[in-house]
Amino acid sequence: MKKMAIVALIVMCVVFIVGLVLIFSAPTMGLQAGNAAVTNNGGSMDTNQFEIIINGTTASYQIVGLAISLVSGFGLLACGYVLYKEI
């Protein structure tokens, strides 16, 4: 049981870090999506549409990162509690 809790703790830690990376890199990903949309549109695009794409993509990645971090954070707490009870 203890070995399984340690493995789960490591997995939850890695997933938590992935969620944080998604949260903090979301603006860059949003800008890349906006630039890709301009490129796909022939090099010009309405500024409002460009801004909507950037804001929407950024918000989407932040929400996904938040959900991943939240779930794995609770998993970290649960695994830590199990390991604490094993001591």
Task: Provide the CB-side half-sphere exposure for 63 (13 A, CA).
Answer: 6
82 touches 15 (CB < 8 A):
no
Q: How far apart are CA 56 and CA 74, in angstroms?
A: 27
- Report whether pLDDT(87) > 80: no
Bigger pLDDT: 83 vs 24: 24
Q: Which of 28, 19, 16 is closest to 65 using CA atoms?
A: 19
**Which range marks the domain in which residue 16 is found?**
2-86
pTM given for the model:
0.86
Residue 1's pLDDT is 74
What is the spatial distance between Cα 73 and Cα 71, in angstroms, rounded to a whole number?
Answer: 5
- Over the stretch 7-63, which tens digit does the pLDDT of each residue have? 999 999 999 999 999 999 999 999 999 999 999 999 999 999 999 999 999 999 999
Which of 16, 17, 30, 14 is CA-nearest to residue 62?
30
Give the per-residue pLDDT at 77.
94
Number of domains in the chain: 1
